[in-house]
Structure 1
C-alpha cells in the first residue's frame, strides 16, 4: 500500500462508516439512448480518478475522468449496445464509442479480409461481446481493506471453433489515481487457434490540447511507409498535440507503427503530459507481452482524438501476420497473459521521468 493510500486511511479514521463516501464500485443498467439496457460499473478510486466499465461490451472502459478533467475521447455515438454481427466489413466503426479502452481481437486485429481461413471484419468481435461478471470485490475502508476489483469472462466462440476465453480483471486501490487491467486469453477448444490482441486507448480533450506532449519511444515508421507522411515524418514534431486540422476531416488520419522501447525490466511507458492541467496520464506494459505500440492521430474538428495502442501485432490483419510468420497460435489449453497499468501523475519528479522517454 503506497503513501497516498496510507494517508487516506489516516485522514478518514473514525469519520467514515460507509465506503460510498470514499469510493468503490457501483453497478447499474443504462436506461436511455443507444446503450439502453446495457450493464455498466462506475468505479471511483477516491483519488480523483473515476471511470465507467461497459460490462456488455467486453468490459471495455468508456468515460474516464481525473478530477473535473476528461481523459478519454468519446465518439459521436458514444457507447451503444453490443452488436455481435458487427464483425462484417467495417461495421465495427458503427459500434465504436471510443472511450479510454476498446479491445480489438481476439483472433484478428486490422482491416476486413477474406482468405482460405475465413472472413474477418475490422478489429474482430471481442468488444461486441457481453461479459459474465464472476466477481465483484468491494473495498472496505472500515476494516482497512482498500483494494477493489471486477472480474469477468468473455467468450469468443463458434461451433467448430475457435473457442477463446478472455478472463479480465480490472482493479485499483482507494487513494491511488490508478487502474490495472489484467487479461488472460485461454484456448478452450480442442484445436490450435490464431490469436491477435490490441488495446485501443483513446485519449481526448482536455487531456489532449495544444501544448500537451505525447510520450513514447521506439523505432517507428508511418503505416503508409511514406517518408513524407503529413504527420509522421522526421521534420514534424508529431509528439506535440496540434490544433484541429482541416486535412483530418472525415476519414483523415495518420498512423505510426512503433517497435516500442523498454527499460531494463522489460517495461514500456507511454502517455500524455498536459502542463496546463498540471498532470500526466501514464500507461505501462510489458514488452514481452505487447511488443508493438500504435499511435493513431485523428485531429478532426470536433473529432479530436489520439490513440496509443499496445498490441501483440500491428493492425495488419490475420492474413498478413500469418504470411509474415508473426501470427500467434494458441494450442488447446494454452493461455497468454497481458497487463496494462494506467496512472495519473501529478508530482513533477514522476512527470519528468515519464517525459524523458521521448529523449530515449
Structure 2
C-alpha cells in the first residue's frame, strides 16, 4: 500500500510481510536495492531484503542457529517476523500528516507466539518518518526479545562523496566503502544523544538531489548499531541496522547474561525515525 504525506518520501508498505517498507521513493528515485542483494537461501528474507526496511526477530536475529532446549529445529534466518501478514487498523492522512497502524500476530520458531503492534507516521512539514513498535509475548513461555531493523539502500546510487557520520563511529565517520574491496560489516555500541536517541547520517546522495539520509533510534532497547555493505556481484547494497544485541551468537550472549527474556504478557517497545535532509 502507498503511504505518503505532504512532504517526505513515498513509501510502499508491505501488508503481506509485517508492514515493512518495500519501495522508498525520494525525488522520483527508489532507494531500495531490489534484486541487487545476496541470496541467503531463505525465500522470506530474499523477498524482504529487496525492500528499504525489514524487521528481524522477535525470537532471533542474524543467521540461523539451533533452537535447543528439546527442539530439533533451527531459528530461521533473521527470526520469525518476515512473511507474517499485517492487519491494518487505521490508515489516515490529516492536515498533510500520515499515519498507519497495524497488528501482526507472529508464530515463533519454538512454538510460542507474539504480537507486533506497529505504528508508522510521517510529519507532513518535516517529511520525517517515524516507526513505533511494541512486541508482546502472547505465548505461555518466555523468549529472548531480539530485534533488528534492516534499512537497505541500493549502493548503485552512491558516489565517492557519500560518507557515514555518527558519534558512535571511529573519527566521527568515514567513506561508505569501508572494509574490504567487495564488502564489510561492523557492530558498535550506539551513542545516545538528546532524549536517548542515537543518530547516523549517510550522504550526501547526489542521485536524490544531494540529500542525506538521517536515521535516529531509541537506544534503551536498540543499544547497538550494525552497518554492512555487499558489492559482491550481483549484490550492490548498504544496510544501516539498529539492533538490540551485540554481534555475537546466542551462546555467547547467554554467557554474558544478555538474552533479555520477555515473559508471557510482557511487552517491549522500539522506535526509530528517518528523514532526507
TM-score normalised by L of structure 1? 0.67
CA distance in 1, matches of 2:85, 2:267: 21
**CA distance 1:323–1:156, change in 2 (3 Å):** farther
Instruction: Indicate whether 1:262 and 2:192 are aligned.
Output: yes
- In the other structure, the counterpart of 1:46 is 6
Task: Give unpaired runs (5+ residues) of structure 2.
Answer: none
Residue correspondence of structure 1 range 1-360 to structure 2 within 5 A: 41-76=1-36, 90=42, 92-117=44-69, 118=71, 119-139=74-94, 145-157=95-107, 161-205=111-155, 207-218=157-168, 239-242=174-177, 247-248=181-182, 253-274=183-204, 276=206, 277-301=209-233, 303-345=235-277
Task: Give unpaired runs (5+ residues) of structure 1.
Answer: 1-40, 79-87, 140-144, 221-233, 346-360
**CA distance 1:75–1:163, change in 2 (3 Å):** same
CA distance in 1, matches of 2:44, 2:250: 16
The answer to which of 305-314 and 174-183 deviates more is 174-183
Classify the secondary structure of the residue corresponding to 2:82: helix
- In the other structure, the counterpart of 1:355 is none
More strand by share: 2
CA distance in 1, matches of 2:265, 2:199: 31
Classify the secondary structure of the residue corresponding to 1:321: helix
TM-score normalised by L of structure 2? 0.86
CA distance in 2, matches of 1:238, 1:93: 29
CA distance in 1, matches of 2:205, 2:213: 11
Structure with larger RCO (C-alpha < 8 A, sep 6+): 2
Q: Do 2:36 and 2:237's aligned partners in 1 also have CA atoms closer than 8 Å?
A: no
CA distance in 1, matches of 2:269, 2:142: 17
CA distance in 2, matches of 1:175, 1:53: 21
**CA distance 1:219–1:162, change in 2 (3 Å):** farther
CA distance in 1, matches of 2:31, 2:226: 18
Q: Determine which structure has more spread, i.e. the larger CA radius of gyration.
A: 1
Equivalenced residue count is: 270
CA distance in 1, matches of 2:201, 2:222: 16
**After superposition, what is the alpha-carbon deviation per residue over 1:244-301, rounded to whole angstroms, capped at 9, x for unaligned?**
x8x52xxxx3210111112153210012121643211101111112100001011235
**CA distance 1:154–1:318, change in 2 (3 Å):** farther
**CA distance 1:112–1:47, change in 2 (3 Å):** same
**CA distance 1:180–1:120, change in 2 (3 Å):** same
